[in-house]
Structure 1
Amino acid sequence: MQLSEEIKPLQHLLEASKFMISEEIKEKFQANLKRFVIPKGRMLVGFGQVSPSLYFIEKGVMRTYYSRGTEDITSLLVSEGDIVCIAESFLMQKPSSEVLETLEDTTVYAISYESYRKMVEEDAYMSKLALKLLEQHLINFTDKIKVFKYLSVEERIAHYVGQPSSLFRRIPDHYIATYLGTTPATFSRCLKTVQFHS
């Protein structure tokens, strides 16, 4: 199955910043984007909290997950170059039904909700950039839906571990298993077949 070539949002952002003509825009951009190093295992958004910031990942791995009974289900895995927040909570400023946490020591550029809204509403250039990032995020999300709709569990696992951006071997297998819609036991069994045939 042919999927779209993934373009990392942080690359879009850094490339765009090189072409900002106005010094005022550059200063606003730099003032609103703060760089942080966040330790492994830190929860940035918990259940019932409002997602305060949008994060661009320079280095490291993060995930979002929700609870189903006593089980945590990974809904998103992101790494270098990706953008992450709890979208519904961040954009609507409502309590989150998911958790956002770091799986490695992670370096991010963060922008608060207030700064994000102010920039996109008052600056046409930043508004276009935000739209471009949103469009790319939607394309990547659509590709993930295709994987779940058209591929079997075995094919999903083979597709995932074969991707250049795969986090396979960087994070625990059970996170990847729930992300791909299967159990850790099935993931482990299928993985042996995938590796045998690769």
Structure 2
Amino acid sequence: MNALREHIRSLFKLNEEEASVFLAEFIRKDLQKDDVFIAEGEICKKVGLIETGLMVCTYHKNGNEIIDEFAFENGFVTNYYSFLTGTPSEKTIRCIEDTTVYVISRQSLEKVSRHYAFIERMAGIMNERLFLRTHDRVKSMLLDTATERYQKLVAQRKDMVQRIPQYMLASYLHVKPETLSRIRKKLAKKIN
């Protein structure tokens, strides 16, 4: 948890005491590949902080799985819409690797927020980052070609290509797997 603590301190500019207060409410959970963190239809009442592993957030439509997002080490994971509105989750969040995640309940988060003002500052920073990431993703979907979207993805997380199956990357990029295969071959030729 030391690496997570340092990441949280850096991300939110916390001192050691603030980081300890915040992380004290989190409980470690070791999940296996394919374990569900939040199920479709469940009201989300928790936030996870991933130490190791990888999760995927998916919607289901007409029997197809549509990838919304991936959650990696040092990242928070939740269904924020369900968490805020108290409505059932429309997506599933599950592990695609064995994952160690530290989890805090909504009740515990609200309790610690009432006692420590810096938690509200952290929430504001998280909301800003979430908005900016969502904005960039929507803008990219509207304006970038599939090749440009793939290149941006690889630039952000080089390890994604090795860790995530091609059909999942294709769904995330909103292209067919064969289209992604052509994009990768084309880019590989440019490198060589």
Q: Which amino acid aligns with 2:123?
A: A
**Post-superposition CA distance 1:89-141 (Å, at most 9, x none):** 12222211100001101111211111122222442111111211221222222
Is contact 1:56–1:84 with CA below 8 Å preserved after alignment?
yes
> Normalised by the size of structure 2, how large is the TM-score?
0.86
Higher helix share: 2
Q: CA deviation at 1:20?
A: 4.9
Q: Are 1:85 and 2:78 counterparts? A: yes
- Structure 1 match to 2:46: 53
Cα RMSD after superposing both structures: 2.3
Judged with a 3 Å threshold, the aligned counterparts in structure 2 of structure 1 residues 162 and 17 are, in CA distance, closer, same or farther, namely closer
**Post-superposition CA distance 1:30-57 (Å, at most 9, x none):** 4311222211110111111112311111
Judged with a 3 Å threshold, the aligned counterparts in structure 2 of structure 1 residues 196 and 11 are, in CA distance, closer, same or farther, namely farther
- Structure 1 match to 2:24: 31
- Structure 2 match to 1:19: 15
In the alignment, the residues of structure 1 paired with residue 19 and residue 105 of structure 2 have an alpha-carbon distance, to the nearest angstrom, of 17
Is contact 2:170–2:177 with CA below 8 Å preserved after alignment?
yes
* 3-state SS of paired residue (1:169): helix
- Structure 1 match to 2:135: 142
* 3-state SS of paired residue (1:114): helix
| Structure 1 stretch displaced more, 156-165 or 65-74 | 156-165
Q: Are 1:167 and 2:167 counterparts? A: no
- Structure 2 match to 1:189: 182
* 3-state SS of paired residue (2:47): strand
Q: How many residues align?
A: 187
**Post-superposition CA distance 1:129-186 (Å, at most 9, x none):** 1211221222222222222122111221222223345511102111111111111121
In the alignment, the residues of structure 2 paired with residue 177 and residue 10 of structure 1 have an alpha-carbon distance, to the nearest angstrom, of 33
Judged with a 3 Å threshold, the aligned counterparts in structure 2 of structure 1 residues 85 and 173 are, in CA distance, closer, same or farther, namely same
Judged with a 3 Å threshold, the aligned counterparts in structure 2 of structure 1 residues 82 and 31 are, in CA distance, closer, same or farther, namely closer
Is contact 1:10–1:56 with CA below 8 Å preserved after alignment?
no
In the alignment, the residues of structure 2 paired with residue 130 and residue 85 of structure 1 have an alpha-carbon distance, to the nearest angstrom, of 14
Identity level (%): 26
| Structure 1 stretch displaced more, 157-166 or 176-185 | 157-166
In the alignment, the residues of structure 2 paired with residue 71 and residue 30 of structure 1 have an alpha-carbon distance, to the nearest angstrom, of 37
Q: Which amino acid aligns with 1:65?
A: T
Is contact 2:5–2:23 with CA below 8 Å preserved after alignment?
no
* 3-state SS of paired residue (1:95): coil
